[in-house]
Amino acid sequence: MSDHAKSSPLKMYFGIWATLLILTFVTYRVAFIDLDPFNAAVALAIATIKATLVALFFMHVWHASEKLTKLVIIGALFFLALLLGLTMTDYASRLWS
Amino acid sequence: MWVFLATEIMFFGGLFCAYLIYRRWYFPSFAAASKSMDAGLGATNTAVLICSSLTVVLAVWAAQTARRTLLIGMLILTMLFGLAFLGIKGKEYKDKFEEHHVPGASFSFENVPVPGHPGEYANPRHAQIFFALYFVMTGIHALHMIIGLGIFTWLLVLAWKDRFTPEWHTPVEIGGLYWHFVDIIWIYLFPLLYLIDRHP
């Protein structure tokens, strides 16, 4: 754990909390604006930012995690990407034939 | 714990994958069905879960710094947020039953316009798949919340007995990781089920 995290993590926790609430409000409001195909992209991008913030700071991946933890997370995300990526490339390319 | 969460990622990943495939196939009906969701309640529930994640991280901090009263208070607050989430979820389920949007014999989704395509109507059979996925995904998520409440009850008993020290509070950390993970799942469920294709 770095010195910063030891000295006062409280400020950071409340900061992350406020950021998450603001992002929730933003994604809720943006959903009502017509961006055509980008609505889904914006919503998922904001969700990914929020999930990353929760994992890095609330789940302490950033400050106090071992290399093994990071390896497990990267591995899990890799296989999730395989599952979603390969499935969707299959379905997206079926109309070609 | 992280290995367990990795298995959970794959478990929910399968559901998200099923959602993505059906969304591609039945895009117009999914848009119409998604539009029938109460985005306000969904956003409220997102905010509730984010607040509960804050109280969890404060509980872990309280355990690290040997603040027993704060720890107990934060555990109770977390559980209250969890119950509030389930209460709002229950309200949404009740609405869906009353609107006959629950898949099954009494399902009805007739003459619902497809957003952005005047004169087109959603296919009720396709919309039914959206609602089936909605109930399975949010239902399993709610089950995780209920399990989380059980874990936090146990943590509360241990905290009450003053078992946690700055050297040993592993259960609080692990229970916290589980709670945050369930929060992250909701962070993705919310836009996918409520927000996409919302605009007029």
ipTM: 0.91
Distance CA B134, CA B18 (A): 11
What is the per-residue pLDDT for A63? 77
Interface check for B92 against chain A (CB to CB < 8 A): the answer is no
Helix ranges (H only) for chain B are 2-25, 27-35, 39-64, 68-98, 124-160, 170-190
Q: Which residues pair with B121 in a beta bridge?
A: B113
A31 and A53 both lie in a single domain: yes
- The CATH label, of 1.20.120.80, 1.25.40.10, 3.40.50.360, 1.20.1540.10, for the domain at B2-195 is 1.20.120.80
Domain range enclosing A47: 1-65
What is the per-residue pLDDT for A38? 86
**Nearest beta carbon to residue A75 from set B6, B53, B196:** B6
Tens of pLDDT, residues A25-45: 999 999 998 887 788 899 999
**Nearest beta carbon to residue B183 from set A54, A87, A91:** A54
For A15, the token pair is: 């900061």
**Residue of A17, A27, A28 to mutate when probing chain B, most B C-beta within 10 A:** A28
**Nearest beta carbon to residue A88 from set B20, B39, B187:** B20
Distance CA A48, CA B139 (A): 22
A55 and A22 both lie in a single domain: yes
Residue type, B160: W
Decide the pairing of beta strands B117-121 and B113-114.
Answer: antiparallel
Tens of pLDDT, residues B39-95: 999 999 999 999 999 999 999 999 999 999 999 999 999 999 999 999 999 999 999
Q: Inter-chain contact B9–A76, Cβ cutoff 8 Å? A: yes
Q: Structurally, how many domains does chain A consist of?
A: 2
Q: Inter-chain contact B199–A33, Cβ cutoff 8 Å? A: yes
Q: Which runs of E-coded beta strand occur in chain A?
A: none
Residue type, A35: L
What is the per-residue pLDDT for A6? 52
The distance of B106 to chain A (nearest Cα, Å) reads: 30
